[in-house]
């Protein structure tokens, strides 16, 4: 029985059987992977504290009989991302990103760009970057990687480029997947983006990840554009992540600023309470 090693980010955990855990990872070489952590519930020392949300590191797993779920043998945490897991705002955002990856990415399909995007976004959160910045960057680039790149180059209706549009806020058509000039915008294009935001978003989606991470939007622009993608991605994915509802709930209740000590374990339990259906 041969062993396999991979760099991985932990996306989620489910209890299965009396003592086992079903762990979903996002590996750099092989994409999404589900493994069985046998007897992990019997002892916290079994995997050395490496089975927590958002942890990244190396895993070793083996394949048993054909068609069976691989068995997790070792898990080594390289980055615990404690700066995320002790803060409700950062936990809520990270939970949404990891669920997007878990929902959309196919098992066994390599997605190195997406892995690197998630890893860098989690690191930015951990290091204290204001959540709205990596939140927008992750969603914008994830949309491209998932094949849903929005049209930011011209009005969906009249074809006018952003620089040639009439003055005013630029609309965004969620269903159509692109911008609409002020002259053509109707009731269905409630989101409003400034010209500078549209141009900066286009730049972020065209550059490599290293350059894109250097972009800084104003707080208001980041929140507005981030909200656009929170509507755009679920619409085109065909499902609303539970974690997005959790993120919106915490905003509505004002928990993002008032409960900085809420742990990731509590956040996971809250997500589980919302049920499996969107």
Question: Is position 164 within any domain?
Answer: no
Instruction: Give the whole-angstrom CA distance, residue 72 versus residue 60.
Output: 6
Question: Is position 23 within any domain?
Answer: yes
Instruction: Give the whole-angstrom CA distance, residue 177 versus residue 174.
Output: 5
User: pTM for this structure?
Assistant: 0.87
Residue 275 confidence class, pLDDT cut points 50, 70, 90: very low
Least confidently predicted of 83-87, 99-103, 268-272? 268-272
Question: Is position 196 within any domain?
Answer: no
In this predicted structure, the answer to whether residue 109 has a pLDDT above a threshold of 60 is: yes
For the sheet with 178-180, list strands across it: 178-180, 170-173, 191-193
Tokens 């709205």 correspond to 132
Distance from first CA to last CA of the chain, Å, rounded?
A: 39
Query: Do 63 and 2 meet the contact criterion of CB atoms below 8 Å apart?
Result: yes
Q: Give the pLDDT confidence of 37-52 residue by residue, as tens digits.
A: 999 888 767 787 799 8
Question: Is position 109 within any domain?
Answer: yes
**CATH number of the domain where residue 99 is located:** 2.40.50.140
Domains contained in the chain, number: 1
Question: Is position 226 within any domain?
Answer: no
Query: Do 138 and 166 meet the contact criterion of CB atoms below 8 Å apart?
Result: no
What integer is the mean pLDDT of 66-88?
89
Expressed as residue numbers, the domain containing 31 is: 3-129+240-273
Q: Which residues in 252-267 are b (16+ Cβ under 10 Å) and which e?
A: eeebbeeeeebebeeb
In this predicted structure, the answer to whether residue 188 has a pLDDT above a threshold of 60 is: no
Question: Is position 193 within any domain?
Answer: no
């Amino acid at each position: 029985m041969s062993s396999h090693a991979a760099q991985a980010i932990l996306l989620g955990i489910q209890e299965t059987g009396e003592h086992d855990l079903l762990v979903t990872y996002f590996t750099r070489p092989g994409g999404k992977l589900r493994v069985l952590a046998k007897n992990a519930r019997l002892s916290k020392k079994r995997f050395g504290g490496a089975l927590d949300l958002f942890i990244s590191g190396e895993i070793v797993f083996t394949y048993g009989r054909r068609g069976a779920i691989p068995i997790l043998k070792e898990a080594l945490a390289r980055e615990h991302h404690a700066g995320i897991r002790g803060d409700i705002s950062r936990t809520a955002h990270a939970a949404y990103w990891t669920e997007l990856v878990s929902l959309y990415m196919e098992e066994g399909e390599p997605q190195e760009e997406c892995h690197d995007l998630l890893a860098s976004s989690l690191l930015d959160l951990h290091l204290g970057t204001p959540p709205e910045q990596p939140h927008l960057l992750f969603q914008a680039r994830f949309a491209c990687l998932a094949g849903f790149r929005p049209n930011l180059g011209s009005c969906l209706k009249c074809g006018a480029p952003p620089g040639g549009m009439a003055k005013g806020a630029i609309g965004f058509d969620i269903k159509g997947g692109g911008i609409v000039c002020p002259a053509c915008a109707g009731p269905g294009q409630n989101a409003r983006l400034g010209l500078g935001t549209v141009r900066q978003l286009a730049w972020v989606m065209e550059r490599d990840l290293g350059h894109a991470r250097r972009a800084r939007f104003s707080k208001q622009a980041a929140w507005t554009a981030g909200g656009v993608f929170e509507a755009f991605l679920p619409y085109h994915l065909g499902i609303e992540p539970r974690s997005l509802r959790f993120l919106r709930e915490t905003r509505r209740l004002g928990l993002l600023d008032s409960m900085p000590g809420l742990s990731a374990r509590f956040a996971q339990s809250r997500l589980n309470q919302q049920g499996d259906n969107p």
